[in-house]
Amino acid sequence: MKQFYILLLFSLSLLFACSRNEANHVKKKLPKKESLVEIHDGIFTEYYPGKKQKKFQGEQDANGQRQGKWTFYGPEGLELSTTHYEHGIRHGHSIVKYPNGAIHYYGEYKMDQQIGIWKSYDMQGNLTEEKDYGQK
């Protein structure tokens, strides 16, 4: 009976050792994760997977917050939106486009609040809504 337990213990140890080595082997084969973000001279750029096309691009302040003009691009490279920021807060003009390039809506922000007249359009370019948020 004692030999049975010794054999069982030996078999389990061998099995555990083999499975552990295989797990370590698999970890070594995993490809290095692609970094999709670059920051150079205060310009933040995020790419789509494959790093062939920009997704976001804009300036950052000393604290790493959005500053100035920020642009969002579609997977095909078309500029889909532009918004201006001051220290991470939307402040200035903003425009959003449909994937076909037509303007969807535009307006202005002041300290992250919509101000003035905002206009919305359908995909054919027809005005669908005009709203005045005042406080300009």
> For 24-39, what is each residue's pLDDT tens digit?
555 566 667 789 999 9
Which residue segment(s) compose the domain that 71 sits in?
Answer: 37-132
**Same domain assignment for residues 46 and 2:** no
Tokens of 25: 């082997």
In the predicted model, is pLDDT for residue 112 greater than 80?
A: yes
Residues 55 and 25 in one domain: no
pTM: 0.73
Phi, psi at 97, each rounded to 5°: -115, 155
pLDDT of residue 32: 72
Q: Per-residue pLDDT for 125 more than 70?
A: yes
51 plus 111 within the same structural domain = yes
Cβ atoms of 100 and 123 closer than 8 Å: yes
pLDDT per residue as tens digits for the range 47-99: 999 999 999 999 999 999 999 999 999 999 999 999 999 999 999 999 999 99
pLDDT confidence of residue 8: 44
Q: How many domains does the chain have?
A: 2
> The CATH number of the domain where 72 resides is what?
2.20.110.10
Instruction: Count the alpha carbons within 13 Å of 45 in the hemisphere toward its beta carbon.
Output: 11
